[in-house]
Amino acid sequence: MKDSRETENVTTYSGCREYHSESTIRFEGEPAPQPDLPKAVWPSLVLPAVFIPAGPSLTLSLVTPIDTNIAAAGDVVLEKVVQPVVDPDSGQVLIPAGATVRARIVKMEYWTGSPAHFAIAVLLESVDISGVASPLYARQYLRRIDPRSSAMRSRGVPIFLPPLNQRNNVGTFTFLSPTKGRYVVPVGYESGWVTDVASASR
């Protein structure tokens, strides 16, 4: 920098991950292959996804820890619903407490400045309701800094704003790093969301 400060970026490839998917090519007029199951079984396999309207609040609790030493963008994160999500109009339970939510880490950054901190961005993908994976669109409504950090009890606590042009259904969580270079988001860490419509992901 102009004031003689130096920064160093280090990239490590020892823990690379490979992501892949499978696809099938079918030509027009060609029947789709069907599993070898009795026809009577088919009706029980086709269950509709649950539609979740925009508006209700959603509190999630982390099921497995996120260790910044090994976690990376692309990793799946599992969370559970802390309290039932209720439709404010009908009073119907849309998502029961304990339902599993599948999310994915879309970005992880470490800032070496003062204070040193991690920024972890998470995208909610789906929620399992009665064995059916339903799409889940939600936006973060509570942006938290690790409350156990001593910086929270002093003046001049920094405020971390979400990145510019970040999609609405991506939540960014900031954690001060008392041990430079590593932070473990503990099991049970809670985050707040508000359900949204599908267009929020665009």
DSSP reduced 3-state for 190: strand
Task: Specify the pLDDT at position 14.
Answer: 65
Nearest to 100 by CA among 47, 46, 62, 71: 62
Q: What is the mean pLDDT of residues 43-69?
A: 83
Instruction: Provide the terminal-to-terminal Cα distance of the chain, rounded to the nearest Å.
Output: 37
Task: Specify the pLDDT at position 161.
Answer: 52
- Decide which of 144 and 94 is more confident: 94
pLDDT digits (tens, 9 = 90+) for 35-46: 555 555 444 455
- DSSP E strand stretches across 11-160: 57-62, 66-67, 76-81, 85-86, 93-95, 100-111, 117-129, 132-135, 138-140
How sure is the predictor about 60, in pLDDT bands with cuts at 50, 70 and 90? Answer: very high
- Decide which of 111 and 18 is more confident: 111
Least confident of 13-17, 116-120, 154-158: 154-158
| Sign of CA pseudo-dihedral 169, 170, 176, 178 | positive
Residue where the block lists tokens 């976690």: 71
Domain ranges of the chain: 47-197
Q: Cβ distance 110 to 68 under 8 Å?
A: yes
Instruction: Check pLDDT > 50 for residue 102.
Output: yes
Question: What's the whole-model pTM score?
Answer: 0.66
Nearest to 138 by CA among 80, 65, 202, 54: 54
Arch. (CATH architecture) of 47-197: Beta Barrel (2.40)
How many angstroms separate the CA atoms of 12 and 8, rounded? Answer: 13
Instruction: Check pLDDT > 70 for residue 82.
Output: yes
Distance of CA 104 to the CA centre of its chain: 5
